[in-house]
Amino acid sequence: MILMNDFKNEPIELKNEMTEAIRNVIDSGWYILGLEGKRFEQRWANLCGVQRGVGVGNGMDAIEIAIRVLGIGEGDEISTTSMTALATVLAIVRAGATPVIADVDPTTGLMCFESVERCVSNKTRALILVHLYGQLSEIDRWVALCNSYGIELIEDCAQAHLSSLNNKCAGSFGRVSAFSFYPTKNLGALGDAGMMLTSTDEFANRAEIIRNYGQNNRYEHSEIGLNSRLDEIQAAVLNVRLNWLKEYTERRQDIACAYLDGIKHNEIKHLARPIERTAHVYHLFVIRCTLRDILVSYLNNNAIQSLIHYPIPIHLQSPFINIKRDPQGLVGSEVHANQCISLPCHPQMTDEQVYYVIETVNRFKF
């Protein structure tokens, strides 16, 4: 089976480096919020072109904390998409704000400007822009839109590690941004981890308080916080895996190029190519097919795993049936959810496997 992720097949050098890093943490006798975490925060912020990183427990908490440091909460609205991990919307709710769902362009899965404009009201304080699948698209237009309405741009970069346009990275466009290091992300830990990035010291300092029960001085608490701290073992693993990220991202981009050039089928459509190679890091390689469910079982019968990101848009999930949304509806999201399919695209794939996927998809009959 060609898997969507194949961690067991990662190189022995990488596994040895992680094992050594973990042993060093054990020997250090210090396990939560320590030197490994500080080092990872600095390295990641630096690579993304941002001043400060605040390591937290997971990507969802990073989004919640990003919202809270901006002073957004009860009574405020945040516009975002239905075509994302549930965590994006959950984080808004956890921060006390009201999510308002904008529609996506079904040909990319990315939010539509016109729909976001229909969602903006006098209560809107922010837009959470999800760089879905790793795509960093039309960022100047999004920045301009947020500026024109006087709302904050919060980037959900959980799928877009080091995606860049004109040498400027995902996570550096808004005043705050959020990353997940869940194991399957392009940069993943061996458990849960996340980070908020910002170049505003006031926001970073506040995030450091919120992640640690709202503690401003030892055993003195200035607000109601979370328990969402980055542990040293995950940080040490991330410091190792970060050294491999550039090579692994390039491998993903090469596989994606091979798919874009090689997959040719009347019933299958590609998403738009990025305008620069670096502007898509292919956390997921997604195609569209109106016979999607038949294609999924055909691939499965031919030993190719696939997944759907996402089969049920958030506004159709039972806790969110009545969620506020674009008054013109969310048809684009529903169409995309019915047609999208993610093919294996990860650094452990061999060239033979990549060509096998291309040939198998091209031979699809129904």
Ligand X SMILES: *Cc1c(COP(=O)(O)O)cnc(C)c1O
Residues 7-66, interacting with ligand X (CB under 6 A): 58-60
Is 342 among the residues that bind ligand X (CB under 6 A)?
no
Instruction: Using the minimum distance from each CB to ligand X, give the nearer residue, 80 or 360.
Output: 80
Taking a C-beta distance cutoff of 8 angstroms, is the pair 116, 142 a contact? no
CA–CA–CA angle 272, 274, 278 (5° rounding):
155
Instruction: Using the minimum distance from each CB to ligand X, give the nearer residue, 17 or 192.
Output: 192
* Distance of closest approach, residue 181 Cβ to ligand X, in angstroms: 7
Is 237 among the residues that bind ligand X (CB under 6 A)?
no
Query: What residue number has its CB nearest to ligand X?
Result: 59
Residues 6 or more apart from 241 whose CB is under 8 A from it?
14, 18, 187, 188, 189
Q: Where are the alpha helices (DSSP H) in the chain?
A: 12-28, 35-48, 59-69, 86-94, 113-119, 139-149, 201-210, 232-262, 292-301, 331-339, 351-362
Is 156 among the residues that bind ligand X (CB under 6 A)?
yes
Instruction: Using the minimum distance from each CB to ligand X, give the nearer residue, 130 or 170.
Output: 130
Is 136 among the residues that bind ligand X (CB under 6 A)?
no
Taking a C-beta distance cutoff of 8 angstroms, is the pair 39, 240 a contact? no
- The C-alpha atoms of residue 339 and residue 309 are separated, in whole angstroms, by 10
Is 155 among the residues that bind ligand X (CB under 6 A)?
no
* Eight-state DSSP code of residue 227: B
* Distance of closest approach, residue 62 Cβ to ligand X, in angstroms: 8
Is 84 among the residues that bind ligand X (CB under 6 A)?
yes
Is 158 among the residues that bind ligand X (CB under 6 A)?
yes
Distances (CA, A) of 166 to 174, 234, 279: 16, 31, 9
Sign of the alpha-carbon torsion through 272, 274, 279, 285: positive
Stretch that binds ligand X, among 101-109, 156-164, 231-239, 329-337 (CB under 6 A): 156-164
Taking a C-beta distance cutoff of 8 angstroms, is the pair 145, 117 a contact? yes
Three-state DSSP state, 73: coil
Is 82 among the residues that bind ligand X (CB under 6 A)?
no
* Distance of closest approach, residue 199 Cβ to ligand X, in angstroms: 21
Among 98, 159, 163, 333, binds ligand X (CB under 6 A): 159
Instruction: Using the minimum distance from each CB to ligand X, give the nearer residue, 127 or 258.
Output: 127
Helix axis angle, 59-69 relative to 201-210, nearest 10°? 120
Instruction: Using the minimum distance from each CB to ligand X, give the nearer residue, 59 or 344.
Output: 59
Residues 172-231, interacting with ligand X (CB under 6 A): 180, 182, 192, 194
Instruction: Using the minimum distance from each CB to ligand X, give the nearer residue, 185 or 325.
Output: 185
Among 83, 85, 139, 242, binds ligand X (CB under 6 A): 85
Is 87 among the residues that bind ligand X (CB under 6 A)?
yes
Q: Where are the alpha helices (DSSP H) in 155-200?
A: none
Three-state DSSP state, 314: helix
Stretch that binds ligand X, among 152-160, 285-293, 296-304, 357-365 (CB under 6 A): 152-160
> By the criterion CB under 6 A, which residues form the site for ligand X?
58-60, 84-85, 87-88, 130, 156, 158-159, 180, 182, 192, 194
